[in-house]
Chain A
Amino acid sequence: MTLAIPFPVAGRVFESTPEVSAREREQQHVLAAQRGDTEAFAALVRMHQRRAYAVARSIVLTHEDAEDAVQDGFLHAYRALHRFLPDQAFGAWLNRIVANAALDITRRRKVRDADSLAETLASPFRDPAESDELRRRLTVALADLGERQRSVLVLHDVEGYKHAEIGRMLGIPEGTARSDLHHARARMRDALGNVRSQL
């Protein structure tokens, strides 16, 4: 049973559904964090770190880089918190920042050559389960995709984001996200075509 108790926020009356009260709670944390309350910012970290990780992980190639991107993203968000308007969705704003941090890390990683990257990804130390052939080929095929196509593919097909949300997150038009997804799928289909016959 959902409690529906009306309460005013900024002159408007909302019903106290769990979603609205979570939003209101988030707003209170944001306002407190903007006043310098680090405990309130820690609460925001607890609320959003899983989604932030998922966004970062869809862009970078390793768990370690995803964690770095999440940390960088939260740090950037903390520094830019005074510019954030509390009536906006903190999660969407944060995800854009984390996506940018992840893209920065990916660009820095480009100095590494493709062979060493493939070895890193396939290393049993990184992930013992990669002995599985499909997983290994998938890893290599995803690494071969451009960073934007891979991000769009993973954000859409794994994380379930819509094209428009992906566009906002990565700073690209919705149509570009749609066409990136199409091309990424086509390239994955080509890369995994021979696995299809082997498995």
Chain B
Amino acid sequence: MSMEHGTPGNGHDDEIRRTMRDMYAPPRGELYWRGLESRIMARIAKAADVEWWSFFGGWVRVGLAAAAVAVIVAGTMLARSRDVQARLAYEEAIESASGIPVAGPASSRAAERDAARDATLRYVMSY
């Protein structure tokens, strides 16, 4: 089997070559090629649609991720603000509580000092 281009082989090789060319011959008829062109362009159009949606699909994923991050950040901020509010309320309560006069050893010492001063004054006035 020579099957070389341009070199005449024996009749059997020619027959093999002819048969192979026949087996591998592209479909004849313009209708087939028009149909193939339509199928190719339909696949391209479909792929382009899918890519268009996948482009937005990508943005949807980005949006969802951003929303999830925003929810987490908002939750954290809310929790922190509650802590701050609670702490402020506690501190305010403590500060306001320190302004109330409380009976105790300090006030009794002041009363004793006043009584001693009055006694001394009375003693000086009696002379």
Contact = CB atoms under 8 A, between A and B. Distances in A.
B37 A71 contact: no
Contacts of A50: 26, 33
B113 interface: no
Nearest to B15: A134
A139 B19 CA distance: 10
Interface in A27-57: 38, 41-42, 45-46, 49-50, 53-54, 57
A74 B44 contact: yes
Interface residues of A, number: 38
A128 to B, nearest CB: 13
A90 interface: no
Contacts of B20: 138, 142, 154, 157-158
A42 B41 contact: yes
A46 B41 CA distance: 11
Contact of A71 (B19, B22, B24, B40): B40
A63 interface: yes
Interface stretch (A101-109, A167-175, A188-196): A188-196
Given A49-B33, A185-B3, A192-B1, A57 B40 contact: no
Interface residues of B, number: 26
A18 B41 CA distance: 27
Interface on chain B toward A: helix, strand, loop, or mixed SS?
helix
Classify the secondary structure of A's interface with B.
Answer: helix
B5 interface: yes
A49 B3 CA distance: 26
Contacts of B47: 75, 78-79
Given A71-B43, A134-B16, A157-B17, A139 B23 contact: yes
A70 B40 contact: yes
Contact of A57 (B26, B41, B45): B26
Given A75-B47, A134-B15, A138-B20, A45 B41 contact: yes
B1 A188 contact: yes
A199 interface: yes
Nearest to A36: B48
B27 interface: yes
12 contacts: A38-B44, A41-B41, A45-B41, A49-B33, A53-B27, A74-B43, A135-B19, A138-B16, A153-B3, A154-B24, A188-B3, A192-B16
Given A75-B40, A139-B23, A142-B20, 16 more contacts: A45-B40, A45-B41, A49-B36, A49-B40, A53-B26, A53-B36, A57-B24, A63-B27, A70-B36, A74-B43, A74-B44, A78-B44, A132-B19, A153-B3, A188-B16, A199-B12
